[in-house]
Structure 1
Amino acid sequence: MRQQPSQQADLFALDQQRVLYAELCNAFYARELHRLSQQCANQPDPKRVSRLLDSLPYYVERAAFHIVHGHCPLTLDGQNGSWIAKQASKPPSCDVQANQTFYSSYAQVGILVPLVVSAGHLQYVTIDTLDQISSNRVHCNQAGWFDLQGQYQDTRLSASQQVQLLVPNKKNFTPACCGHRWQQNKVSSPRTLSLREMLLTTRINWKNFKKPMSVKEN
């Protein structure tokens, strides 16, 4: 029986998804194994490495699946397992008034937020998740506490780092997803995101930054 054009298109799309999924898995495995080898060389801990290796297939396949079936407005480099977008000439800055307006009204557990980090002369943006909310502060899962204006209120990070909360929007999430970096406010080569960070990029609710992404949406 001859296939209809719509069936052929569906099969072609399915084949493309399978190829992309395989490319992403290969890229993530290569990247994470290299990262683990460096960690093992610097801080040998056989039990920890064993746990990480045991869980690696699950997280690699989960990240690849959500990227293939997700809806992200950025361009994907499947062979390198990274997002691509034009880089701004300068890093995003913390707007305390915009932060106060957004986080006093829309902060809720589960939404993803961008953070701008300064480490020496290097600046970059990362992604974190709000996991606690109080009347005048919000808590990020990895970074710790911030006031509603975006100023850091914790001691979790090293003294050499300065970090500020940004308003979640496409402008601020794009450099976080793409690993954009700046050296003394000048464009530098992008960093490679960890597998955890790539997983977080698949959980951004690009349609409504005020709400966590539901299972159905992803």
Structure 2
Amino acid sequence: MRQQSSQQADLFALDQQRVLYAELCNAFYARELHRLSQQCATQPDPKRVSRLLDSLPYYVERAAFHIVHGHCPLTLDGQNGSWIAKQSTKPPSIDSQTNHAFYSANAHVGILVPLLVTQGHLQFVTIDTLDQVSSNRVHCNQAGWFDLDGHYKDSRLSGAQHAQLLVPNKKNFTPACCGHRWQQNKVSSPRTLSLREMLLTTRINWKNFKQPLPMKDS
């Protein structure tokens, strides 16, 4: 009887995983197709759109698989494909000395890092990865170069944007995963993360932020 109950529990858990996986795939497809349609309207590039559409099933299924089988302390909204957590009243604070101490000792290629991005009066946190590290600066895959204090030293971002490197910890990664935003230091509506960002959230090692989780094929 105990073995039968255990098997029933396993089947129920498996059914729940299948439902969640389907919900996430639907949410990600709807999100990415809407994003691509907006890009086509402003920057028509049939070849690029074709490439993105061809690769879309792979990345959608990969993100859904790793979220379903991952371990994240945040609450998941499967229908909307997003993470949920209580938002702080103000954006993360910047501490240059803390940044320098951390990155001078722990920066290495592949580590996940949070960035505080400012667009006018709007602020939010994104996730990026380090792909180059030198003795006095680090390079983020999407944003570009930063010094070890976390100050932006590149021109890749548009003139309306500014970024600040933060220390990877739960306090800084939580708003990045949940899309938290602040307008003039007041809570604003959250943004929707891109599929790339959702994939990166599945690689966060919440027990050791210095060592990201490997991305395995589903």
After TM superposition, the score normalised by the length of structure 1 is 0.96
1:3 shift after superposition: 6.0
Cross-structure match for 2:57: 57
Asked whether 1:162 is paired with 2:158, we answer no
1:215 shift after superposition: 5.1
Distance in 2 between the 1:206 and 1:2 partners?
Answer: 34
Cross-structure match for 1:106: 106
Deviations 1:172-207, CA, capped at 9 Å, x for gaps: 000000000000110000000010110010111111
Distance in 2 between the 1:215 and 1:177 partners?
Answer: 17
Secondary structure at the residue paired with 1:4?
helix
Cross-structure match for 1:179: 179
Secondary structure at the residue paired with 1:31?
helix
Residue type matched to 1:25 in 2?
C
Cross-structure match for 1:10: 10
Deviating beyond 4 angstroms after TM superposition, the runs of 4 or more aligned structure 1 residues are none
CA contact (8 A) 2:70 2:202 kept: yes
1:10 shift after superposition: 0.8
Cross-structure match for 1:21: 21
Residue type matched to 1:19 in 2?
V
Secondary structure at the residue paired with 1:174?
helix
Secondary structure at the residue paired with 1:164?
strand
Cross-structure match for 2:95: 95
Secondary structure at the residue paired with 2:39?
helix
1:162 shift after superposition: 1.2
Distance in 2 between the 1:163 and 1:214 partners?
Answer: 26
Distance in 2 between the 1:116 and 1:131 partners?
Answer: 18
Distance in 1 between the 2:81 and 2:102 partners?
Answer: 32
Distance in 1 between the 2:151 and 2:3 partners?
Answer: 60
Residue type matched to 1:199 in 2?
L
Asked whether 1:36 is paired with 2:29, we answer no
Deviations 1:74-93, CA, capped at 9 Å, x for gaps: 00000000000000000002
Secondary structure at the residue paired with 1:51?
helix
Secondary structure at the residue paired with 2:182?
strand
Cross-structure match for 1:68: 68
After TM superposition, the score normalised by the length of structure 2 is 0.96
Gaps of 5+ in 2: none
Distance in 2 between the 1:157 and 1:42 partners?
Answer: 19
Residue type matched to 1:13 in 2?
A
CA contact (8 A) 2:203 2:215 kept: no
CA contact (8 A) 1:93 1:116 kept: no
Cross-structure match for 2:191: 191
Asked whether 1:122 is paired with 2:125, we answer no
1:139 shift after superposition: 0.7
CA contact (8 A) 1:181 1:189 kept: yes
Cross-structure match for 2:200: 200
1:210 shift after superposition: 1.0
Cross-structure match for 1:45: 45
